[in-house]
A and B are shown apart, each in its own frame.
Chain A
Amino acid sequence: MKPARIGALAVGFVMLALVAVLVVSDGDTDVGARSPLLGQPAPAIETTTIDDQPFTLARRKGSWVVFNFFNSTCVPCIAEHPSLVKFAEGERARPGGAEFYTVVNDDADAAIRDFFVANGGDWSKLRDTDGAIAVAFGVAKVPETWIIDPNGFVRLRILGAVTDGVLEAQMARLREGANS
């Protein structure tokens, strides 16, 4: 075999390999981000709120649960806050509405209290003092929003800030899927 032909074959092989990689990899065009936890039982979470009330995720089975990982100094967290307030109010008003929780990420209780007093949002804020909840969900940067269904399965992960209507649309889609 001529060296030129071998070279051409090698280039062809590499190109095929690249095409194969592109074919098998998923595009990130959806709102939801990938996570090995999607479709799996949610991690066992046991903590307290910043008001020292106990919280156990397993006790919330039967409700849709939304976790928003938050830090009061994070700019996208601050930017998405009005959308979260609207979403939480909407869910509270509807029968069987989702329960919304803030998971405090690397922040002080006092800073969180001050932020919510100034910006609204009277839902529970969960402590994650040593980052165990963030590690359990694989959260490296905030904000992140996770939705867990009434059976305790993780259904959606959203990376970064959400805008008005995004969470409402995703909840509607998930509820529809659960009822079908």
Chain B
Amino acid sequence: MTTASRRMSLTPAARRIAWAVVLVATLVLLVFGAGRNTGPLTQQERIDVITKRIACPTCDGESVFVSRASAAQAIRAEVARQVGDGVKTDDEIVAYVADRFGGQVLLVPRGSGIEALVWVLPVVLAVVLVGVLIVLFRRGNRGNRGNRGIDGEGGGPISASTGTTDGAPANRRPLVITLAIALVVGIGVGVLVARQSGQRLPLQTATGGIEDSTASLLAQARLAGPTDVKSAIDLYGRVLETDPDNVEALTYRAWLIMLSARQFDESLRTQAYASTITALGRAIELDPAYPDAMCFLGIVVFRDGGDAASASEFLDKCIARQPPAEVRGLVESLRAEVDAALGK
């Protein structure tokens, strides 16, 4: 060994200390990077930061921030609107866009699912390569020491192919063990990097289930309506707890209560009729253009109140408001009966 190389070599203890320093420095930097706070941003800064994280869906390699394509402009307008609302966080806004256009619009890949491989694989590869290099260097060193032994101190014979001593298949074990450890460490570190650096989208659910919002409660209520009236009434009631002026919930809850009450006695039907008329009247007051409330009012007033004249007026108004097909079908089937009751 030359004087220079002897000066460069470290004792095993010094090497361990050097490795420990590198490890600690890496951890400190990771923690610092994870915990850094860039401070409050203005709305425009937030819009810029968010749009730089989203790819233009119709361009190649451009972010929404730089693109002038109409789709990018629409996304930018939506981001600006949501930032202006001040309700959602940056991550939630990015999640909204990704939820609509798919993960391909994320310029920073997700830290979960198959996209996490983008983060994990390079780390695994790097750690495994470092592990392999360490093993090979150590073998090389041993080989050199062995060679010196032949020349000077009479060590055992050296295998030409591997540089290890003959008759020692166990010498392969360090390579395998090192590779296994490197693989495990690499995957572990890769997952950490993916979690730290990958895109996190808080609105997404693992099961893809719908969120518990007013819209989803209304949708669930509509699904339940025909077969499970009680659940539907409960769901509409939950909507009204948080949004007492929700016209759809007011209308359909009242309608389903009236339909259910028809199988009970006179007093219950009378109570249900009164509450239904009040609720439908409230819905019409809140949104005079909503056809369903007017249509149900006409049906209920005729079927349960026996007032053909008022019913006819309400049904005319209902048709003028262009009700959806289901409700139109109900009204059209009743129209002839109402006309007959009026002697038309």
Contacts and interface: CB of A to CB of B under 8 A. Distances in A.
A28 interface: no
A95 B292 CA distance: 18
Contact of B219 (A24, A97, A140, A153): A153
B337 interface: no
Interface stretch (B35-43, B187-195, B300-308, B321-329): B321-329
Contacts of B71: 131, 134, 139-141
B70 interface: yes
A60 B324 contact: yes
Given A62-B327, A96-B326, A130 B102 contact: no
B176 interface: yes
Kindly list the 9 A-B residue pairs having the minimum CB-CB distance in the complex, ordered from nearest: A131-B74, A62-B324, A138-B100, A62-B326, A140-B57, A63-B324, A41-B219, A63-B325, A151-B222
Contacts of B100: 35-37, 135-138
A19 interface: no
Interface of A: 1, 6, 21, 24, 34-37, 40-41, 44, 54, 58-64, 95-97, 99, 105-106, 130-132, 134-141, 150-153
B175 interface: yes
Interface stretch (B3-11, B17-25, B210-218, B262-270): B210-218
Contacts of B176: 1
A41 B216 contact: yes
Chain A contact residues: helix, strand, loop or mixed: loop
A58 B172 CA distance: 69
B289 interface: yes
Nearest to B332: A95
Interface stretch (B26-34, B75-83, B139-147): B75-83
Interface of B: 57-58, 70-71, 73-75, 77-78, 81, 97, 99-102, 114, 172, 175-176, 179, 208, 210, 215-216, 218-219, 222-223, 248, 289-292, 323-327, 329
B198 to A, nearest CB: 18
A48 to B, nearest CB: 12
A138 B102 contact: yes
A135 B74 contact: yes
A96 B329 contact: yes
A54 B290 CA distance: 11
Given A1-B175, A140-B57, A152 B218 contact: yes
B291 to A, nearest CB: 7
Contact of A130 (B77, B218, B324): B77
24 contacts: A1-B179, A6-B179, A24-B114, A35-B102, A37-B100, A54-B289, A58-B218, A58-B248, A59-B290, A62-B292, A62-B323, A62-B324, A62-B327, A95-B325, A96-B329, A132-B74, A132-B77, A134-B74, A135-B77, A138-B100, A139-B71, A141-B71, A152-B222, A153-B223
A132 B79 CA distance: 10
B215 A41 contact: yes
Contact of A150 (B101, B179, B216, B326): B326
Nearest to B128: A10
A54 B289 CA distance: 9
A29 to B, nearest CB: 18
Given A41-B216, A96-B329, 8 more contacts: A62-B325, A99-B325, A105-B70, A130-B77, A132-B78, A135-B78, A136-B100, A140-B58
Given A41-B218, A62-B324, A96-B325, A135 B290 contact: no
Contacts of A24: 114
B222 to A, nearest CB: 4
A134 B75 CA distance: 9
B329 A44 contact: no
B328 to A, nearest CB: 8
Contacts of A34: 102
